[in-house]
Every structure is written in C-alpha cells, then in structure tokens.
Amino acid sequence: MTVPSALPTIDVSETERRLREDPGRPILVDVRENAEFLEVRAPGAVLIPMSEFAARAGDLPKDRPLLVVCHLGSRSAAAAGFLIRSGWTDVVNVAGGMDAWQRAGLPTRSGPLDPGEGELG
C-alpha cells in the first residue's frame, strides 16, 4: 500500500472532537496489530490490523467518516490511501497516531478486551 500525496490528515485533538461531536458518527479505525491494540487503545476504536487490512477493508461502511490511526501515522496513512483509492470518500489519517493520542492525554484503555470491543458494530 502506498500513501497518496494529498492525503487528508487531522491531529488527535480534532479526531477526539469529531468522535465526540460529529453527528455523522465517525469510526476510529485502528490498523495496529492485536498486541499493540491490547497494550493501549482509544475507547471505541475498531481494530482492523494492517496484516488483515486489504482483506477486511470491505467490511468498513462507505456512508460514515473513517478516521484511521496506528502507532505513529505511517501505517494509517497507507491504509487511508488504500481506502480512498478503493472508493471511500470520507477518510482521514490521524497524524501522530496513538503515540500522539497518549501524549495529548486523551482517554485510553488497555489490557484484555471487553466483549465486542474492537469490533465493527
């Protein structure tokens, strides 16, 4: 997967605000691997690891905004670019990823998943 040159990107503060306030009900799509997700994650994030992303991307809705996050921003940029090239229109990369999310003091969860957590609902 390659990154398009003009990839729509937002910072973690804008991401958190959109998740909280946007009536379009954006989905935070985390493309890190399972172990990374268990270590730390944003509440409500949907896990679709990069190792499975191309095969599972079709599960993502095209009628809701998708905010794509990883650890630092490279994998999520590639995944967001893939979605845009594949016909999704409301997709943004989250700059700085979960590293920036944690540094900003935004809410996180860690450890074992609750039933349904990380799944597209």
Return the active site residues. 70
Q: How far is CA 103 from CA 20, 37, 67, 91, in A?
A: 19, 17, 18, 23
Give the per-residue pLDDT at 23.
Answer: 93
Give the per-residue pLDDT at 62.
Answer: 97
The pLDDT tens digits for 68-98 are 999 999 999 999 999 999 999 999 999 999 9
4 pLDDT above the threshold of 50: no
**Amino acid at position 106, single letter:** L
For the chain, the average pLDDT equals: 95
Q: Does the reported pTM lie above 0.75? A: yes
Write the DSSP assignment of 52-111 as a string of letters: HHHHHGGGS-SSS-EEEE-SSSHHHHHHHHHHHHTT--SEEEETTHHHHHHHTT---B-S
Given pLDDT bands bounded at 50, 70 and 90, which one contains residue 2?
Answer: low
